Amino acid sequence: MTTSAVRLTSLAHGGGCGCKLAPSVLQDLLGGQRLTGPFERLLVGTETGDDAAVWDLDGDTCIIATTDFFMPMVDDPDHFGRIAATNAISDVYAMGGTPIMALAILGMPLGKVDTATVRAILQGGTAICAEAGIPVAGGHSIDSPEPIYGLAVIGTVRKSAIRRNSDARPGDALVLTKALGVGVYSAAFKKDALSSDGYEELIASTTLLNKIGARLAQEEAVHAITDVTGFGILGHSLEMARGSQATLTIDSSKLPLLAHARALVRQGFVTGASHRNWESYGDAVVLPADCEDWQRHLLTDPQTSGGLLVACAPEAADRLVAEIIDAGYPFARRIGRVEAGAPQVRIEGADAPETAIEPVVIFPGQGPRAVESYPAESHGAESDRAPFARPAASPVATQQAFVPPASALPDPAEADLALRAALATLQRMTAKG
């Protein structure tokens, strides 16, 4: 990890997608705005809070346009650039499209950040764009009191492949492609409480491009896609529920979490955005009666460069999860379902005790080693009842994987997912050399 002369996070009052406006504030600001149209070729606009705008060019080919930028959540300028670029490009993939070019958005306090740091931020973003196969074709920069960086991204998509957040159907299964806990890790990082293992896990997750979205959009069984970012899994599920006029039910025991997320959130590492999120949409969420605050914080935790939430035909869900894992997303899990009913999110899940497994992590070039553990809060040990149980065979991150004893695997299907995740991890490590 490289740091600049001054900590980038010290120059900003927020960081990552956690500095987004609260959902209620955004709705209030946009409530009186009206298009001057109608624009018949504008297929996706602001109506359902979707990930990007989509314009029909010729009845078949469509243009996707999106922009995303934020303040730093880490101090390494290269990592900041990579995270911001990955997050911005994700919106194109979430619509089912393929990015074709990007424009950089840069604001820096020039008297506080040196030239080398700014160059490293830009280089990090350019590196991710190269991984996505697109150029940074220009941009705009200003002298800003706080550092910001991001991209405006243009993509293309066939009209038949557009996947909105408003097309989920009753009976659909819900699939999530990345683990939750990025906001918790970010809060711990700012307090110098995130281990080196945790930091590596954070970077691996937030710099993993959501390329799988374009592939999923080719599946007739996939009906709706959105990416999970600043509003947390609850907020973006609620957007899908409202857009689709349906109830989304999430099984909390199936939610994949970053390795230390539960321990850290129980120690109080929570972002301000998590509180604002709940205040904005909590009245449209049904939680279990015994849900504790720390459990709710994981549901409202803002995800910077998070995964994709996919609504698909239930008979295709297990196959898609396996294919997503094979494609390099080892945390992919089936997490719930879509039901007919009021547009809301309902959380369910039986008590799920933590499986007694020593997590072992594989780091490139270093071999396996045990993950550093975090002590639980005084009010309860990590082995206490936990509705958010990390699946026994869940991998830790893109380049990290649990290796549990065979006896801990609950069934052959879970064992198959674990094997696929391990193979995907090793293939990715080998490809990066």
3-state secondary structure string, 388-415? CCCCCCCCCECCECCCCCHHHCCCHHHH
Q: How confident is the model at residue 51 (pLDDT cuts 50, 70, 90)?
A: confident
Backbone angles phi, psi at 108, to 5 degrees: -140, 140
Of 220 and 372, which is predicted with more confidence? 220
| CATH number of the domain bearing residue 137 | 3.30.1330.10
**For residues 163 and 98, what is the distance between their CA atoms, to the nearest angstrom?**
12
Same domain, 15 and 103: yes
Same domain, 26 and 175: no
Count the domains in the chain. Answer: 2
Count the Cβ atoms, other than its own, within 10 Å of residue 353.
10
Same domain, 145 and 51: yes
Q: Which of 318, 305, 311 is nearest to 337 (CA)?
A: 311
Is the model's pLDDT at 98 over the cut of 90? yes
Amino acid found at 231: F
C-alpha 193, offset from chain centre: 22
Record the tokens describing residue 327, joined without a space.
């494609």
Q: 127-141, 175-189, 352-366: which has the minimum mean pLDDT?
A: 352-366
Of 252 and 355, which is predicted with more confidence? 252
The answer to whether residues 189 and 202 touch, using CB atoms and an 8 Å cutoff, is yes
**For residues 146 and 66, what is the distance between their CA atoms, to the nearest angstrom?**
22
The strand pairing partners of 292, in sequence order, are: none
Give the structural domain span for 314. 164-433
Same domain, 140 and 191: no
pLDDT at 50: 74
Q: What is the mean pLDDT of residues 144-172?
A: 97
In tens, the pLDDT along 369-405 reads 333 444 444 333 333 333 333 333 333 333 333 333 3
**Domain C-terminal end among 143, 162, 181:** 162
**Domain C-terminal end among 162, 181, 212:** 162
Same domain, 362 and 380: yes
Residue position matching structure tokens 């380049």: 399
Of 351 and 36, which is predicted with more confidence? 36
Record the tokens describing residue 390, joined without a space.
């990390």
pLDDT mean across residues, the chain: 83
H/E element holding 334? strand 333-339
Residues in the chain: 433
Burial group, residue 121, by CB count within 10 angstroms (0-12, 13-18, 19+)? buried
Angle at 422 between CA 84 and CA 383, to 5 degrees: 85
Dihedral class, residue 23 (left if φ above 0, else alpha if ψ from -120 to 50, else beta)? alpha
**For residues 376 and 43, what is the distance between their CA atoms, to the nearest angstrom?**
49
Same domain, 156 and 268: no
Is the model's pLDDT at 258 over the cut of 80? yes
Same domain, 16 and 121: yes
Same domain, 278 and 425: yes
Report the catalytic residues: 17
**Domain C-terminal end among 131, 162, 193:** 162
Residue position matching structure tokens 């990416």: 227
**For residues 235 and 18, what is the distance between their CA atoms, to the nearest angstrom?**
13
Record the tokens describing residue 109, joined without a space.
């306090």
Q: How confident is the model at residue 23 (pLDDT cuts 50, 70, 90)?
A: low
